[in-house]
Amino acid sequence: MKTGIIQQHNTADRNDNMQRLADGIRALAAEGAELIVLQELHNGLYFCQVENVDNFDLAESIPGPSTEYFGALAKELGVVIVTSLFERRAAGLYHNTAVVIERDGTIAGKYRKMHIPDDPAYYEKFYFTPGDLGFKPIDTSVGRLGVLVCWDQWYPEAARLMALSGAELLIYPTAIGYESTDTEAEQQRQREAWTTVQRGHAVANGLPVVAVNRVGHEADPSGHTGGIQFWGSSFVAGPQGEILYRASATEEERRIVDIDLKRGEQVRRWWPFLRDRRIDGYGPILKRFVDRT
């Protein structure tokens, strides 16, 4: 499957961001892309650097303007698009939601981000209610997609549950970057940890992984920090964790990567991790912490 990724910097101009995404989608479709994955909250700046109630005005309904916009592109170009939106479900109830648009322009399904961080410059708990749709793959004309979002990528449980539900591909729209006061060595450790844990999900589940991150610097509106330098490095890994493509840490990129969905079947035959799982012994995983006393 020809999978397109768009790693982009964002500005405060929503229309400009969306137009550049549309240009990228058209270019990838012209090159034969069947599936195109966009980064987390791709329409605007990463507003979660501060807690500001006015930012709730950025949220929109689903279906709504963005699903209509990208739906029209999907239908025109005959591609499946994975989008990432700030969903307004009701007054005072908002989600960080990935929406998969089918090639006919309809909504194939959506996933609401389950794991919500709350760290300096990533104040997502202020904005997003934890997802309530579970870890359910989305069926599309190009395959069954296990779509998760950013902070979800650190949790092996999320990837495993998607795999157990029949996902053929794990997809992570992402917005992650360096804290400005960290040393260069610490920054690189964090970036490599981010890549490594997701490659581990590929290996443990015998599935390809697509992670699409934003790139560039976004200032902290409050001025309390030096802002976030998003580290790009979007990548595609195969079912043994092998890197099929890795984008720049500093530049915008769009790229098509060929993913062999059938190869995962053979990899699982070699490494039958799902067969050998000891489901009778995993009960304590449902506890917050296992007290050995």
- 219: pLDDT strictly greater than 80: yes
Q: Which of 92-101, 201-210, 281-290 has the lowest mean pLDDT?
A: 281-290
Please work out, in degrees rounded to the nearest 5, the angle formed at the alpha carbon of residue 12 by the alpha carbons of 27 and 256: 20
Question: Of the residues 48, 113, 168, 218, which is catalytic?
Answer: 113
Is the N-terminal amide bond of 63 cis, ω within 30° of 0? yes
Q: Reply yes or no on whether 186 is catalytic.
A: no
Q: What are phi and psi of 258, to 5 degrees?
A: -80, 125
Question: Of the residues 87, 150, 168, 218, which is catalytic?
Answer: 150
Please, what's the b/e burial string for 108-139 (b: 16 or more CB within 10 A of its CB; e: otherwise)? bbbbbbbbbeeeebbbbeebbbebeeebbbbe
Element (H, E) at 241: none
Q: Reply yes or no on whether 150 is catalytic.
A: yes
Question: Stretch 257-281: mean pLDDT, rounded?
Answer: 96
Closest to 24 in 3D by CA, of 13, 11, 12, 9: 9
CA Rg, the chain, in Å?
Answer: 18
Question: Stretch 5-30: mean pLDDT, rounded?
Answer: 98
- 293: pLDDT strictly greater than 80: no
Q: Which of 88-97, 130-139, 172-181, 188-197 has the lowest mean pLDDT?
A: 172-181
- pLDDT tens across 71-114, in order? 999 999 999 999 999 999 999 999 999 999 999 999 999 999 99
3-state secondary structure of 48: helix
Burial zone of 278 (CB within 10 Å; 0-12 exposed, 13-18 middle, 19+ buried)? exposed
Residue 64 in tokens: 């709504």
Residues 6 or more apart from 3 whose CB is under 8 A from it?
33, 34, 35, 36, 37, 210, 236, 256, 257, 258, 259
Question: Stretch 152-160: mean pLDDT, rounded?
Answer: 98
Residues 6 or more apart from 250 whose CB is under 8 A from it?
215, 232
Question: Stretch 195-201: mean pLDDT, rounded?
Answer: 98
Q: What is the pLDDT of residue 181?
A: 85
Question: Stretch 43-58: mean pLDDT, rounded?
Answer: 98
Q: What is the CATH number of domain 2-269?
A: 3.60.110.10
Q: What percent of the chain has pLDDT over 90?
A: 96
Question: Stretch 39-52: mean pLDDT, rounded?
Answer: 98
Cβ pair 96, 83 in contact under 8 A: no
- 292: pLDDT strictly greater than 90: no
